[in-house]
Amino acid sequence: METSVELAAARTALVLVDLMDRIVALPLRPRSGDEVLATSLALAGRFRAAGATVAAIRVERPGVAAQPPGSGLAAGVAEAADLVVVKRTVGGFHGTGLDALLRERGVDTLVFAGIATNMGVESTARSADDHGYELVFAEDAMTALTGEEHRAAVTLDLPRFGAVVPAAGIRLG
């Protein structure tokens, strides 16, 4: 795992995956949903202060009545100027318009945080790689259903797509 990266705020977006109350409350490892939420919110605050884009992705399950944008997200995950997209698949790109929204803002680099590391985060990251984005993963702003799944994703899979760093090591210029 790398220790730090320097990113251009104007071309970078923080992508928060599935930080919804019902998902944050699940029994997760190697860290709790509340720990991931706190780290993600601190990261989002830094991104907003630097003028970088924050994009929140939430899942809408089949059979559940449609909710307004932002509904179901944990408090503080999405603010008025942030992008919010609803996904109906594991990843956050298919059928959401996320790529077009990011391109409109001139974004070419994505920093990922969220739940679950090996599911929503990894699936969205793989699609982002297919779309040509540079990728960074905030390791301590992610977690999974088991510690083994998280560790496999951050040590074996995600490093093939981008840099895996602690949230504190992400610097915006």
* Alpha-carbon span 21 to 6, nearest angstrom: 31
Band of residue 8 on the pLDDT scale cut at 50, 70, 90: very high
Q: What pLDDT score was predicted for residue 67? A: 54
What pTM value is reported for the model? 0.94
* Alpha-carbon span 162 to 160, nearest angstrom: 6
Count of helix runs (H) and strand runs (E) in the chain? 5, 8
For residue 141 the two structure tokens come to 């702003």
Distances (CA, A) of 49 to 7, 57, 61, 116: 14, 20, 33, 26
Q: What pLDDT score was predicted for residue 48? A: 98
Higher pLDDT, 161 or 70: 161
State the alpha helices, DSSP H only, in 12-131: 21-24, 33-49, 98-104, 122-130
Tens of pLDDT, residues 95-117: 999 999 999 999 999 999 999 99
Quick one: 70 exposed, middle or buried, by C-beta within 10 A (0-12, 13-18, 19+)? middle
Other CB atoms within 10 A of residue 92 CB: 30
Tens of pLDDT, residues 25-49: 999 999 999 999 999 999 999 999 9
Tens of pLDDT, residues 46-90: 999 999 999 999 998 665 555 555 578 999 999 999 999 999 999
Q: What CATH number belongs to 5-172?
A: 3.40.50.850
Q: What pLDDT score was predicted for residue 1? A: 79
Q: What pLDDT score was predicted for residue 68? A: 53
Compute the chain's Rg from CA coordinates: 14
Q: Delimit the domains of the chain by residue range.
A: 5-172
* Alpha-carbon span 79 to 100, nearest angstrom: 20
Tens of pLDDT, residues 133-159: 999 999 999 999 999 999 999 999 999
